[in-house]
Structure 1
Amino acid sequence: MATAFSSWFNRNQNKQVAVIGLGRFGTSVARTFYQVGYEVLAVDADEDRVNCASSNNIATQIVQLDATDPIALKQAGIEAFGLVVIAIGNYFAESVLATLNVKGLGCHRIIAKAVSTIHGEVLSKVGADQVVYPEAEMGRTLALRLTATGLLESLELDTEHSIVEMVAPHSLADKPLQELNLRARYGVSVLAIQHDSQFNVNPLPSDTIQDGDVVVLIGANRDLDKLAQMAAPNEAIA
């Protein structure tokens, strides 16, 4: 989920983000952008949510409006924002209409929350540039943490690919990456190796993973899940 937004921290030069929907997901997105210095417009149709957001100082501007009304969105100046996050995924019709309206106003980039595959397909067809499934991502991360004790973090890129951070199993220790050949054997690539507090980003084939190091991997979920299961402490990777 976070990765869906991360590239915009550098690419969105006007540093303006609009978030539509102030449930837990929308509030978290708005607060995160706001805390790193973005101008954030946060909107919701519910007065209580707007009041709660206002009292918690999560955005530059917080407005109560109905995102299914294109006139209200235009009056709020939504088209000026480089990135718009539609965070009202739990309400199918409202999220679809909001996405359609935002697209119609010419917004450059739209990321929409969905709660099902069908919902996501509809959002893509009406204008969402990217669809995220935060509940599915959270559920998958929790399940992996419970079943693979070496896993530290999981970040979903889309419904089929993720970046994961895990403690390297003992069987990987003291072997160069070219010998481990994780890409050929497991379909995953090593993005970084953390030894103590030092990060080795984009490591060389000759670099070695030491016992207790943390590795950051990217790949298909099915391959990462398999490796996470095998990477629990004291389990060997064959």
Structure 2
Amino acid sequence: MKKQAIVIGLGQFGSAVARSLTSEGVEVIVVDRRQELVQEASSYAVRAICADATDEQTLAALNPGARDMAISAIGNESREGSIIVTALLRQLGCPFIVARATDRLLERILQLVGAHEVVNPEQEFGERYAKRLAHQGLLEEIPLSENLVITEMKVLPFMANRTLAELKLPKQYGIMVLGIKTVEEGVEHIALPGPERPLNEQESLLVVGRPGSTRALLKEQ
């Protein structure tokens, strides 16, 4: 049985979430007060509703308690609306609620009124992009815990035409290579790393280690 989700708010973040969930096989119901955005979403959502989600009867009619999740993507459009929608979703029994916040105060309030997870996409993007600017060669960093991160990084010049066996990254830097990413004709491929396979600068590495380990390696370029 397919998962079902309600996405409330069709700004850039909400639309992106709704489209991505749909592409992953989730049945998505979208709600927004703006008719033009609802009309656009009707091309991919199983239901696209033009309504005010802060109205309890409107939200109850969507039966959020029977869905797998709901995403309140209202954010900056209406702080009050974001809080009301999150509280109503919790009251109506939604099993998993994700709410968008635009600052720390709103994040705390949304947690208090019932959000299981709060996201701040602008802040998260800003932090990730700052890391890329500060550490040339770092493409993406995903925390697994306080002491462990997965990082995508470019193959650095000093690594080109050398093998993982020669580089001895676990011993020298405390990082383990999980995969090697290549792009051929616009399609990404990830292969398991062979210790005797030479690297080239057109590839990137997926590595796991402590937060500072990869940055120490990047300083070698």
- Relative to the length of structure 1, the TM-score reads 0.72
1:39-96: CA deviation from partner (whole Å, max 9, x where unpaired): 1101112233223323xx2311111122212211111222221011111111211111
Tell me how far 1:152 sits from its aligned partner: 2.5
1:116-157: CA deviation from partner (whole Å, max 9, x where unpaired): 112111111111111111111222233333343312234577
Asked if 1 retains the 8 angstrom alpha-carbon contact of 2:173 and 2:214, the reply is no
Question: Is 1:20 the counterpart of 2:8 in the alignment?
Answer: yes
Question: Is 1:112 the counterpart of 2:99 in the alignment?
Answer: yes
Tell me how far 1:192 sits from its aligned partner: 2.1
Tell me how far 1:211 sits from its aligned partner: 5.5
- Name the residue aligned to 1:175: 167
2:69 equivalent among 62, 66, 83: 83
Question: Is 1:32 the counterpart of 2:20 in the alignment?
Answer: yes
Asked if 1 retains the 8 angstrom alpha-carbon contact of 2:173 and 2:216, the reply is no
1:36 maps to a residue whose letter is E
- Name the residue aligned to 1:122: 109
Identity of aligned residues (%): 30
Q: 1:115-194 residue pairs with structure 2 within 5 A?
A: 115-154=102-141, 163-170=150-157, 174-182=166-174, 190=176, 192-194=178-180
Asked if 2 retains the 8 angstrom alpha-carbon contact of 1:14 and 1:82, the reply is no
Asked if 1 retains the 8 angstrom alpha-carbon contact of 2:2 and 2:25, the reply is no
Q: CA RMSD in A?
A: 3.3
Mean CA deviation greater in 105-114 or 161-170: 161-170
Asked if 1 retains the 8 angstrom alpha-carbon contact of 2:178 and 2:208, the reply is no
2:31 equivalent among 26, 36, 43: 43
Q: Distance in 2 between matches of 1:85 and 1:143?
A: 27
Q: Distance in 2 between matches of 1:51 and 1:89?
A: 21
Q: Say if 1:162 and 1:176 are closer, same or farther in 2 by CA, change over 3 A.
A: closer
Mean CA deviation greater in 79-88 or 168-177: 168-177
Q: Distance in 1 between matches of 2:48 and 2:122?
A: 25
Gapped regions of structure 2 (runs ≥ 5): 183-188
1:37 maps to a residue whose letter is G
Asked if 2 retains the 8 angstrom alpha-carbon contact of 1:27 and 1:58, the reply is no
Q: Distance in 2 between matches of 1:101 and 1:120?
A: 16
Q: Tell me, what secondary structure is at the counterpart of 2:130?
A: helix
1:178 maps to a residue whose letter is P
